[in-house]
Amino acid sequence: MATKALQFNFIKQEVRPNTIADVKVDASFRRIPKNAICFHVWKIDEDRLEAEPKAQYGTFVDDCAYIIYAAAAAGTYVNQDTITREVKPSVNLERFIHFWLGENVSEQKRSNVAHKIQELDSYFNNVAVEYRETQGNESARFLSYFKKGITIKCGQHLNSAEQNRLYQVYGRKWLRCIEMPTISWEHFGADFVMLLATANHLYVWIGRSSSNVERRNAIELANKWQKDNTKLTIVDDGYEQSMPEKRKNEWNTFLPLSQRSVCQNSPIPEKPICNKLKIYKCCYRNNRLHLDQLDVVIPTREDFSDSSTAYVLDGFAQGIWLWVGSQASQQDKTNAMGNGRAFVKKKKYPYSTPVIRVVEGHEPAEFIRLFPSWHGDCNELQMKPSSTILGKFDSMTLCQRPKMAAETQLIDDGSGERKIFRITKDQVIEMPTTKAVYFTTLNSYVVQYTVVSWSMNPNDSESVGIKQIIYQWNGSEASTEITNKAENFAKNLFDTANQKTMFVQMSEYDETPHFLQMFEGKLIILLSERSLPHNNNNNNNNHIISNGLNGHDSESLVLKVFGDSTYNAKAVEVFPLSSMSAKECFVVKSQHVWVWCGQSSTGDARELAKNIGALLGESSLVLEGKEPKEFWRSVTNLMNQSLIMNGVNHSPNTSSNGSSSIGTASPINSNGSSCGTTLQYLGSCSPPSVKPRFQAQLFAVWNLRNKFFSEEILGYDQTDLSPECMYVLDAGIITYVWLGKYVSSHEKVKYMNMAQNYLETVPIARRPTTAIGVIHQNDEPNVFKGFFNSWNTGMWNNYINYEQKRQMVSSGQSVITNGTGNGVALPVNGVNGKLPPSILNNQKDFDRHQKYPIVMLQQEIDLLPEEVNPLKREVHLTHDDFVSLFNMSFYEFDELPAWKQQELKKKHKLF
């Protein structure tokens, strides 16, 4: 592999600090069985190592360093509740070592933890994956160990007798509760939930920009700390003055309302996106370590060609990976983390940049998936069905075996009823039912499909999960106007459906297996409407509309047949015909219909090609090398000047003898472009000899101030899906969006944007046109449920959401902390029996606006914050400030006549 100019030149001693020639392993580590599934946590306290009790797992101190060791059978996950159990030496264990550094940790403790990491790693023969974690920037794997979230205590308070504490709480999936060094307004932010714990009372302050799931989890946490709800008060951002007098007086002693100041844009960690990964090879020259950048566009497994050295994979904010070859020296394995830190410093990356070391043969899933061409083991999910036997997957089997449905992405056998709508610039046209279905690349199509299960067992039907699918297919040349019109039409069918429905949006070249299965391999995609059938009463001998295309005979066309089974097959028009490979099949229609099959094409592929030929009329089978003269005369007008036959030029003028040479040629797409992408997407190229695999990933996703955020959930199960959140399940060939029942209305309408944001920001090579499937909670299809180890359809029957949990606190009921309740009706309470407006969906959404101090809103127009409308300044006041100025609430103010409102705003310099 070629290299670019020298990038780094580290002095050898500088990057190999604290080398231990003869590592002595701490007694705490030697107690761990080498062949055991287990989870352990140790704290570095000055110069000694202390094993943390299980009850303290998930609680950290910000001036300490910690070591976490996790061992699990390959492909499985452990967490803080894992019980140590020994396994046979033949069991393949994945080992992970994390060291966590609090933001106030001393240099001495950082040095001590580095030594201890080397000891623990050497005890397991230097093959464990090592993670460097910092407070506030923990990896997804680290957070996955602590399902109930993490608590970070302030070190300076550990030995203090003071009982009053302030905590900052945030995290859509992984709840973080961080103790503040002081009780002050400076720690408050609109994005946070704050917990003020006094000697006698606990206050839960709800930031206006926090999410309902954060609020709900914070109340659960508060209820653990203070089980007596009479000593628990919920305070809304901007409504502090509305507290009962006794509570307000106590609050004022800690946080004077006269000094109230809440940060509108809280400094929540935001990781920059970097989709361009760089690889450097470590080389020693003249006793110095040089890092030479490899000249690669998309990194592949083959770039790590030298097992005797190490490589650096630079993913910027996503992490710096150190890959160490299996034949590298022990010293290279031991000092890789030091090299990684030196790299971070040289590149001037943030101190918090993750650094991870992996050893060849022990790479974790997070590393492997950065390489689209890396072929995993049989436990990983394929990007297309593994079988190529026609008709193997029947509806009965698929509804009874969700894992098979998920692996194949086949909901049923495709035999259900379907309605097809063609979307043009001017109209929506329902197409007649025919054996062959013709799409054109210039249009979009919407298919309304009814799912079948062929089972009398209601449990089987419930396993399928949905009754209907709305498919939207966009041609590669369709205009934005047409695709938008199709999306609106499809989403309307989805949103107004009166039965369990899923919505799937896809583009040409990225069709899902079930979509193609609906057409049984008989979907024909044409370049323009000039080839659409004129008479659809029967599918044989169809006449062709004569509009012409680039001057060639309008009744002639060449179809390239993709796939070898009904769930991956389609026929795509090719013009001009520029390449024919021995592995491919074509259908040529002129005065006669010819089915041409390359010598290396499979029997299944030939059968599918013959089926397409039969739809166009009486056809003749032509095998490569045995073509009659009439065949070449038929395709002459459809060829390039020089036809490439398996890598050899084949001119129409010299091909009449029917001979051709057998060689290898790159597959060509229907648009004539080479399929040069690293990922083999269904329908885009001929089936690869080795099928790529893809491990499904789950992400919690959300928007905050028009920015996209996501958190990955490793080792996920159904309990990780919260009804108050939105999730993305990336299954490779399709990206699912799961909408919780209680997702806020302003987030729910953005589900397509969420999926697109994910595809554009994921740090691996993904096509932005990857199919997107949208699913509502309780309407999950088998192709989604099969990605989870088990699925409980009644899990959320008694789910208590934030509003209900808040009502329970206000009424003095105990709060259930396991997410389930008894399903009884809950009383409405609070002030005068009503909930505060901040948790209700008010029409004017007063509480969703950013809030600013009165003096800031009374400034000149050019000094106002950017998002403030000068004519609507009043909506940016807090409730308490609004009442102090106008002597009424916003909702009373909003009922006044417009002239009266304007007069009051002028009086208070808000107009």
Confidence of residue 455 (pLDDT cuts 50, 70, 90): low
Burial class from Cβ neighbours inside 10 Å (0-12, 13-18, 19+) for residue 211 reads buried
In sequence order, the 6+-apart residues with CB closer than 8 A to the CB of 77 are 144, 714, 715
More confident residue, 46 or 240: 240
What architecture does CATH give domain 27-151?
Answer: 3-Layer(aba) Sandwich (3.40)
Query: Taken in order 190, 192, 197, 201, is the CA torsion positive or negative?
Result: positive
Matching CATH topology for 27-151 and 271-369?
A: yes
What architecture does CATH give domain 412-526?
Answer: 3-Layer(aba) Sandwich (3.40)
Residue type, 71: A
Token pair, residue 63, equals 């001036």
Determine the average pLDDT of the residues in 534-541. Answer: 41
Residue type, 533: P
Query: Taken in order 883, 886, 892, 895, is the CA torsion positive or negative?
Result: negative
686-703 pLDDT per residue, tens? 333 333 446 789 999 998
Q: Is the preceding omega at residue 576 within 30 degrees of 0, hence cis?
A: yes
Query: In this predicted structure, which of 108-112, 122-126, 405-409, 704-708 has the lowest mean pLDDT?
Result: 704-708
pLDDT at 648 over 80: no
The pLDDT of residue 653: 45
Report the mean per-residue pLDDT for the chain. 82
DSSP β-ladder status, 726-730 and 437-440: unpaired
Residue type, 308: S
pLDDT at 538 over 50: no
774-827 pLDDT per residue, tens? 999 999 999 999 999 889 989 999 999 999 999 888 776 654 333 333 333 333
Domain 697-786 matching CATH 3.40.50.670: the answer reads no
The pLDDT of residue 48: 84
479 vs 474: CA distance, rounded Å: 9
The pLDDT of residue 264: 80
489-519 pLDDT per residue, tens? 999 999 999 999 999 999 999 999 999 999 9
811 vs 829: CA distance, rounded Å: 7
Query: In this predicted structure, which of 71-75, 142-146, 389-393, 596-600 has the lowest mean pLDDT?
Result: 389-393
Confidence of residue 389 (pLDDT cuts 50, 70, 90): very low
Confidence of residue 459 (pLDDT cuts 50, 70, 90): low
884 vs 887: CA distance, rounded Å: 6
Query: In this predicted structure, which of 58-67, 146-155, 827-836 has the lowest mean pLDDT?
Result: 827-836
**CATH, domain 271-369, list 3.40.50.2300, 3.40.20.10, 3.40.50.360, 3.40.630.10:** 3.40.20.10
Determine the average pLDDT of the residues in 2-25. Answer: 50
Residue type, 772: I
Determine the average pLDDT of the residues in 572-581. Answer: 88
Confidence of residue 830 (pLDDT cuts 50, 70, 90): very low
Query: In this predicted structure, which of 488-502, 533-547, 668-682 has the lowest mean pLDDT?
Result: 668-682
Cα end-to-end span (Å), the chain: 66
Query: Taken in order 714, 718, 723, 729, is the CA torsion positive or negative?
Result: positive
Confidence of residue 673 (pLDDT cuts 50, 70, 90): very low
Contact 828, 835 (CB under 8 A): yes
Q: Which residue has the tokens 């449905």?
A: 405
The pLDDT of residue 192: 94
879-900 pLDDT per residue, tens? 999 999 999 989 889 899 999 9
DSSP β-ladder status, 771-776 and 232-236: unpaired
The pLDDT of residue 34: 92
Percentage above 70 pLDDT, the chain: 80
Opening angle at CA 692, ends 688 and 693, nearest 5 = 155
The pLDDT of residue 116: 93
Contact 723, 800 (CB under 8 A): no
- Residue 94 φ then ψ, to 5°: -95, 125
73 vs 92: CA distance, rounded Å: 6
pLDDT at 226 over 50: yes
447 vs 422: CA distance, rounded Å: 9
638 vs 665: CA distance, rounded Å: 20
- Nearest alpha-carbon partner for 279 in 254, 262, 300, 251: 300
In sequence order, the 6+-apart residues with CB closer than 8 A to the CB of 276 are none
Confidence of residue 19 (pLDDT cuts 50, 70, 90): very low
307-331 pLDDT per residue, tens? 999 999 998 777 899 999 999 988 8
815 vs 813: CA distance, rounded Å: 6
Given this structure, which CATH class describes domain 557-640?
A: alpha beta
Q: Where are the domains of the chain?
A: 27-151, 161-259, 271-369, 412-526, 557-640, 697-786, 842-908
Q: What's the Cα-to-Cα distance from 390 to each of 436, 603, 703, 848, rounded to whole Å?
A: 18, 11, 44, 55
Partner residues linked to 122 by β-bridges? none
- Nearest alpha-carbon partner for 449 in 398, 508, 518, 522: 518
182 vs 167: CA distance, rounded Å: 10
Residue type, 797: N
The pLDDT of residue 532: 57
pLDDT at 221 over 50: yes
DSSP assignment of 33-93, as one string? -SSEEEEEEEEEETTEEEEPPGGGTTEEETT-EEEEEEEEETT----TTPPPEE--TTS-E
- The pTM score is 0.85
DSSP assignment letter at 23: P
The pLDDT of residue 535: 40
Determine the average pLDDT of the residues in 202-229. Answer: 93
- H helices present in 496-622, as ranges: 513-517, 603-616
- H helices present in 66-194, as ranges: 107-123, 140-144
149-195 pLDDT per residue, tens? 999 999 999 888 888 999 999 999 999 999 999 999 999 999 999 99
Determine the average pLDDT of the residues in 2-23. Answer: 47
More confident residue, 901 or 704: 901
What architecture does CATH give domain 161-259?
Answer: 3-Layer(aba) Sandwich (3.40)
The pLDDT of residue 649: 52
The pLDDT of residue 267: 62
DSSP β-ladder status, 193-197 and 202-206: antiparallel
pLDDT at 639 over 70: yes
Residue type, 198: T
Percentage above 90 pLDDT, the chain: 53
**CATH, domain 842-908, list 2.120.10.30, 3.30.70.870, 1.10.950.10, 1.20.1090.10:** 1.10.950.10
Query: In this predicted structure, which of 19-28, 40-49, 62-71 has the lowest mean pLDDT?
Result: 19-28
Contact 274, 347 (CB under 8 A): no
Contact 363, 380 (CB under 8 A): no
Opening angle at CA 722, ends 177 and 219, nearest 5 = 40
Q: What's the Cα-to-Cα distance from 885 to each of 207, 216, 463, rounded to whole Å?
A: 22, 32, 58
pLDDT at 265 over 50: yes
Strands ordered across the beta sheet of 557-562:
437-440, 523-526, 570-573, 557-562, 585-589, 593-597, 619-623
Q: Is the preceding omega at residue 89 within 30 degrees of 0, hence cis?
A: no
Determine the average pLDDT of the residues in 116-128. Answer: 93
